[in-house]
Structure 1
Amino acid sequence: MEASTSTPLRNLGQSKIKISALGLGCWQFSKETSFVSRFWAEIKQEDINEIVRMSLEGGINWFDTAEIYGKGESEKALSEALATIGQAADDALIATKWWPAFRTASSITKTIDVRLDALDGRQIDLYQIHQPFSFSSVAKEMKAVVQLLENNKIEHIGVSNFKASKMVQANEFLNNEGYFLASNQVKYSLLDRRIEKNGILETAKNLGITVIAYSPLEQGILSGKFHKNPELIKKIIGPRKYTRFFKPSGLKKTQPLIDLLEEKAKKYGVSQTQIALNWLIHFHGETVVAIPGASKGHHVQENIGTLQFKLSKDDLEEIDKISQQVAIFE
């Protein structure tokens, strides 16, 4: 095992911004104000404050939120938490997203001040197009976010859920304007490896774009707790309990990977969750970072602990081999 006494940082894409290999996903801060927020039980603001404080103190220096998360409530909760921390939070980096559905690119410039207000005027270090389905082209969206850059409204540009060809389009437009695409946020885990086959990961590596992995623990399946006690699935809030990996057939299929994660967890003296996250942020060099969430203090400790060690090359490859036998690739 390679141990670390400090949290290693890496560049966000081609930018000079240094980010921790794990950020904190903030969807769960939505406070149940919309349908997309109802995947999580509501978290009290004082608990959000503590989660953010612990994350910062543990070396996690960036936070990923979005307009659609509670219609801005997640952004507000994050900014309030950072405000309670005071000067120690001045260097915290914020990534948020514009929601494109049923909108045109003109909405990007028209709504940016709403995003900044929700964040209490804090700097947006990474502004992302949340998904590719709007009434405008990629070029028009990129033109709009370039305006935000040039007006000092945002610092860097990212996308989310963009396929490889649209990543290339976005990056080419930005290059022609003297800028670059910093990131693409996509679903990726040991159980969902589609980006390795559909060109997204290869394109990111070739263009120097950071892949931000969401759902890195496949909504908790990779922790192993649901394999050990399937009755816990009945207590899950929201629709995730109806997805493939939570079904009896899914639990059975993924058991070999869960067993291996448990074996490696004992070897390294960490949790299965930390093994799964550590694989994700190291197997592809520095291309992939991840944004696990946290709704309790012990989740934060899990995230922080992930950054304090590195799996050996042999263990990375062994996990990869078993993962390939059970993961989704298309």
Structure 2
Amino acid sequence: MSKATRIPLRMLGKSDLNISAIGLGTWQFSKGNNLIGRYWSDLNEIDIQKIVQISYQGGINWFDTAEIYGKGKSEETLAQALNMLEDGGKEAYIATKWWPMFRKASSITKTIEERISVLKNRTIDLYQIHQPHSFSSIKAEMEALAELIQNKKIRFAGVSNFNEKKMREAHEELNKHGFPLVSNQMKYSLLDRRIEHNGVLDAAKELGITIIAYSPLEQGILSGKFHKNPELIKNIKGPRKYTSWFKKNGLAKTEPLIELLEKLAKEYEVTPTQIALNWLIHFHGDTVVAIPGATKVQHVEQNIGTLTFQLSDKHLQEIDQISKGISTD
């Protein structure tokens, strides 16, 4: 598949960024650096290069990283991989995040040159407040982001893990400076549908804010492979194997959904993973995009394949009903 020729694009919020409905999450590029980075096993440079290259050539045109992922190591590794592409990844968009814990809003502007440097001077297309807890107000944070946009240090601003009230406040404050809040990155999957009930999703639709769904496959549980062979859980590196969905009761509870995903996967001649992701990016129109990670080339190929078909309305509703009886909400 030639890059970006067969993949439909959609606008990121009220920006002028036309993005693929699937981006690539790059937390796993942290190289095992710092506590956050050790959540995933260390990927070698060759595998990372292949993952980025195949994603880009397959039409995935944006990559999500963060300052806290390996203390900048994910950003650096991503930039290196993009720079090594044949065209230097010139059509790739980069989304990264400022870590607010124990910091003030002044840190947003003070540390931006470091972020740019770590990213090898690539453009920061989307800069996000990683979570809502800091020593400063949302007003101060949005003022800092507006300053970065005005000074052309970043192109657009977003937030992550902001509830409805905080998201609305961020939108209002940024709008005072003439800039849109284009996104809110939230945990969202067929097994975690809280944003549908706590006002976040409805407010996003109202305000024209894109929801960027992270952990869209619940750390791989929606692939169904752990249901078929629970012994695989013992080989998982990092703490995710101790989360509730990976326990015996969690596997049993999710079995009906996995069976449906597998049934539809056969009908569409795709994988259960692709069915789960396809539901996520189509059930709410263009409001939700997703950033599954990838630690193997086959994961990338599945991510790309997700963008080449669309579930019928009947099947979207069928998955919706089964999921509602299982998910966290």
Task: Report the TM-score, using the length of structure 1 for normalisation.
Answer: 0.97
Q: Counterpart in 2 of 1:89? A: 89
Q: Counterpart in 2 of 1:190? A: 190
Distance (Å, rounded) in 1 between the aligned partners of 2:83 and 2:328: 41
Could you list the runs of 5+ residues in structure 1 that have no partner in the other structure?
Answer: none
- TM-superposition CA deviations, 1:39-90 (whole Å, max 9, x none): 2111111221111110011000000000000000001101100111142510
SS of equivalent to 1:10: strand
Q: How is 1:102-117 mapped onto 2 (pairs within 5 angstroms)?
A: 102-117=102-117
Q: Counterpart in 1 of 2:144? A: 144
Distance (Å, rounded) in 2 between the aligned partners of 1:290 and 1:14: 17
SS of equivalent to 1:157: strand
Q: Counterpart in 2 of 1:239? A: 239
Q: How is 1:34-113 mapped onto 2 (pairs within 5 angstroms)?
A: 34-87=34-87, 89-113=89-113
Distance (Å, rounded) in 2 between the aligned partners of 1:298 and 1:88: 23
- Amino acid aligned to 2:150: E
SS of equivalent to 2:155: coil
Q: Counterpart in 2 of 1:25? A: 25
Distance (Å, rounded) in 2 between the aligned partners of 1:301 and 1:258: 20
Q: Counterpart in 1 of 2:135? A: 135
SS of equivalent to 1:14: coil
- Amino acid aligned to 2:209: I
Q: How is 1:178-327 mapped onto 2 (pairs within 5 angstroms)?
A: 178-327=178-327
Distance (Å, rounded) in 1 between the aligned partners of 2:180 and 2:70: 30
- Amino acid aligned to 2:202: E
Residues 28-37 or 81-90, more deviating: 81-90
SS of equivalent to 2:154: coil
- Amino acid aligned to 2:194: R
Aligned-pair identity (%): 63
Distance (Å, rounded) in 1 between the aligned partners of 2:299 and 2:58: 12
- TM-superposition CA deviations, 1:220-269 (whole Å, max 9, x none): 11000111111111111111111111111111111000000000000000
SS of equivalent to 1:192: coil
- Amino acid aligned to 2:183: S
SS of equivalent to 2:50: helix
Deviation of 1:17 after TM superposition, in Å, equals 0.8
Could you list the runs of 5+ residues in structure 2 that have no partner in the other structure?
Answer: none
Distance (Å, rounded) in 2 between the aligned partners of 1:176 and 1:101: 25
Deviation of 1:175 after TM superposition, in Å, equals 1.2
SS of equivalent to 2:134: coil
Deviation of 1:118 after TM superposition, in Å, equals 0.5
SS of equivalent to 1:310: coil
- Amino acid aligned to 1:170: A
- TM-superposition CA deviations, 1:117-162 (whole Å, max 9, x none): 0000000000000000100010000001111001110000000000
Deviation of 1:38 after TM superposition, in Å, equals 1.3
- TM-superposition CA deviations, 1:269-301 (whole Å, max 9, x none): 000000000000000000000000011111110
SS of equivalent to 1:59: coil
- TM-superposition CA deviations, 1:276-328 (whole Å, max 9, x none): 00000000000000000011111110100000000000000000000001001
- Amino acid aligned to 1:102: F
Q: Counterpart in 1 of 2:126? A: 126
Distance (Å, rounded) in 1 between the aligned partners of 2:172 and 2:328: 30
- Amino acid aligned to 1:17: L
Distance (Å, rounded) in 1 between the aligned partners of 2:146 and 2:190: 35
Over the aligned positions, Cα root-mean-square deviation in angstroms equals: 0.8
Distance (Å, rounded) in 2 between the aligned partners of 1:204 and 1:268: 31
Distance (Å, rounded) in 2 between the aligned partners of 1:289 and 1:145: 23
Distance (Å, rounded) in 2 between the aligned partners of 1:308 and 1:88: 25
Q: Counterpart in 1 of 2:7? A: 7
SS of equivalent to 2:184: strand
SS of equivalent to 2:136: coil
Give the paired residue count.
Answer: 325
Distance (Å, rounded) in 2 between the aligned partners of 1:94 and 1:72: 14
